[in-house]
Amino acid sequence: MKNIIVPIDFSEDSLDGLRMAVLLANKFESRVQMVYVQSPSSELGRVGFAEEKRKAVQRFESLKSEFGSMLHDADKLDYIVKKGKVYREVVNQGQAFTDSIIVSSTHGASGFEEFFIGSNAFKIISAAEKPVITVRHGTTPREIKNIVLPIDSSTETRQKLPATVQIASAFGAEVHVLGVTSTTSQDIENRIMAYSRQVCKYLADQNIKHSSKFIPDTNTVDSTISYAMGVSADLISIMTEQNDSLVDYVLGTSAQHMLNKSPIPVMSITPKELFILGSFRTSGAPY
């Protein structure tokens, strides 16, 4: 988390992502890089592109003056203007650094309108190998004191634990482990509870304050959000893509519902084919 990438279109909504990035950067002493992408499909022409870039640079300099004073080191706030597909250029910028995350608003205007609004809002999340934190308008927390960590029946569900622990440790936050399922299968419930116990043990070993709860509910998104609001959560940590048909957090229906509905910032993690953390394995074998 040494580099935080923030897509910016200079709308007030997009600055919510920048505010969230500054909050994180001050804990991790991170570099924050703002990204504006010019669309190659624009009919501006060569002169128009040059003028658009000039105005973007001018606005970025203004943002550096405003937000640099809020950052632990004003010199660690910079920007870049790129050209191409917005989601791809933002993802590529995140991939340019080994230790990076992407922080973005879910709403915006002007050049990023298609990216922030509608189905294109999720392209960056599904394409990114890095964690992505999304913030809805006006929901940027001042601190991160409570994090909700939903656990489902997939073996990948625990892959979001390292990034969650990193943030919890930096902020001294409590992690609320929430077992969720929309099925009535006892085998599935037993698996989720076993995974939850593994996660709680790991959190205890890392000296992270935590709690655990199981909620069987056909609407896992609404129940997760309701629970998160009940514990005054500042962040919800989810997986964005799963292979198990029983899994609730699939980028598409449920994940999009979570990102659209949640008034709380959401951190989305894309599963890896192979993941090892101590004794956590994608095979689901107990440790």
Residue 72 is predicted with a pLDDT of: 96
CA 90 to CA 128: how far, in whole Å? 9
Cα separation, 127 vs 89, whole angstroms: 11
Q: What is the pLDDT of residue 87?
A: 86
Of 53, 75, 51, 59, nearest to 15 by C-alpha is: 59
pLDDT tens digits along 77-94: 999 999 988 889 999 999
Task: Give the homologous superfamily in CATH for domain 146-281.
Answer: HUPs (3.40.50.620)
Do residues 116 and 14 make contact, with C-beta atoms less than 8 angstroms apart?
yes
Residue 124 and residue 15: Cα distance in Å, rounded? Answer: 17
Residue 24 has pLDDT above 90, yes or no: yes
- pLDDT value of position 89: 92
Average confidence (pLDDT) over 231-237: 97
pLDDT tier at 237, thresholds 50, 70, 90 = very high
- Per-residue confidence (pLDDT) for residue 85, from 0 to 100: 87
Residue 259 confidence class, pLDDT cut points 50, 70, 90: confident
Average pLDDT score over the chain = 84
The first and second tokens of residue 118, run together, are: 């509608």
Banded model confidence at residue 252, pLDDT cuts 50, 70, 90: low
Q: What is the pLDDT of residue 120?
A: 52
Cite the residue boundaries of each domain of the chain with CATH code 3.40.50.620.
Answer: 3-135, 146-281
Euclidean distance between CA atoms 146 and 152, whole angstroms: 20
Distance CA 104, CA 80 (A): 15
DSSP states of 170-190? HHTPEEEEEEEES---HHHHH
Task: Report which residue type is found at 190.
Answer: N
Q: Give the global pTM.
A: 0.86
3-state helix, strand and coil shares in percent for the chain, rounded to the nearest 5 = 45, 20, 35
Q: Which CATH superfamily is domain 3-135 in?
A: HUPs (3.40.50.620)
Indicate whether 135 pLDDT > 60.
yes
Of residues 46 and 185, more confidence is placed in: 185
Mean pLDDT of 101-124: 63
